[in-house]
Structures are given as structure tokens and as C-alpha cells.
Amino acid sequence: MGLKQIDHGSKEYRHMVELRMQILRKPLGLTFTKEELDNERNDILIASFDEDKMLGCCILTKIDINSIRLRQMAVQKNLQGRGIGESIISFAETVARDKGYKILTMHARDTAIGFYEKFGYAIKGGQFEEVKTKHHIMEKKLR
């Protein structure tokens, strides 16, 4: 298994969008708008591979000089619970730290809060709804 950054608009990026559709959007009856995907041009796009097969992914979006936001964290359904999510979040933290960010923040689905808590993320503020799903802001100081 390997982790790497991928390029916006590449074949790998198209696979990533498909994975995110399957795991994050289709179950909610939602899709991605062209604008949403175009806006990812300047994001850090991360994916985990077993040879050519994409196992999981996430995105990092700059908020300001100190903070970066983790988004679109998804692991193939039949591969969840095998440590792939852990390796993706750990890689994302290393990338963010290396780029000088001090805080990693996210809009965590309530169903994933326990996952993020395992890696030191804490809830900030109250519950809110996004993409028809209950969320909390979670964040962690990167050391």
C-alpha cells in the first residue's frame, strides 16, 4: 500500500471523484457540481493505492496561514476497518505539518467522530447540518 498526492484533472483524480461519489455522495442522493470540483484545483489531493487500485482518499484545503481543513475522507466500502483511514489521516497530517500548518480542522460527520477522536481530534462547538448529514467541527493542533 502506498500514499501520494495526486494532480487535479488527472486520471487518478477522476478515480478519486468516483470513489467519493460512491462513498460520500451517492448514499445521500447527492452529486458534485462542476464548481465544487473546479474549486479543488488548488487543494492538496491525497490517495492511498494498492498498485493501481485506489483504496481511499482525502483532501486538504487551506483556510489561512495557520489552518488547513481535511475534507472528503473516504475508504472503499469493502476495505473499511483495516487501517487504511488511519494511514491516510497520518499522511495528511505529515503533509500539512511539513507545509507549516499548525491546526488541522474538519467538518466531521457525526458517524465518524469516534474515528477522528482516536487520532486526537476534539469537537469544537455545536452540531450543524451539511449535505443532509449531522456534523461537528473537530480540530487538532499539529505538533
Instruction: Select from 12-20, 37-45, 59-67, 114-122 the region that touches ligand COA (CB under 6 A).
Output: 114-122
Q: Are 75 and 46 in contact (CB under 8 A)?
A: no
Output the CA–CA distances (angstroms, integers) from residue 134 to 9, 73, 109, in the order listed: 30, 16, 6
Write the DSSP symbol of residue 74.
E
Near ligand COA by CB under 6 A: residue from 5, 22, 66, 111: 111
Number of neighbours of residue 4 by Cβ within 10 angstroms? 11
Shortest distance in whole angstroms from residue 93 CB to ligand COA: 13
Site for ligand COA in 45-64 (CB under 6 A): none
Shortest distance in whole angstroms from residue 86 CB to ligand COA: 3
Shortest distance in whole angstroms from residue 90 CB to ligand COA: 9
Should residue 114 be labelled a site residue for ligand COA when binding is judged by CB under 6 A? yes
Site for ligand COA in 14-43 (CB under 6 A): 23-24
- Name, in order, each residue with C-beta under 8 angstroms of 57's C-beta and a sequence gap of 6 or more: 16, 19, 20, 45, 46, 47, 48, 72, 73, 74, 88
Q: Which three cell numbers stand for residue 81?
A: 476497518
Residue numbers of the site for ligand COA (CB under 6 A)? 23-24, 73-75, 80-86, 108-109, 111-112, 114-115, 118
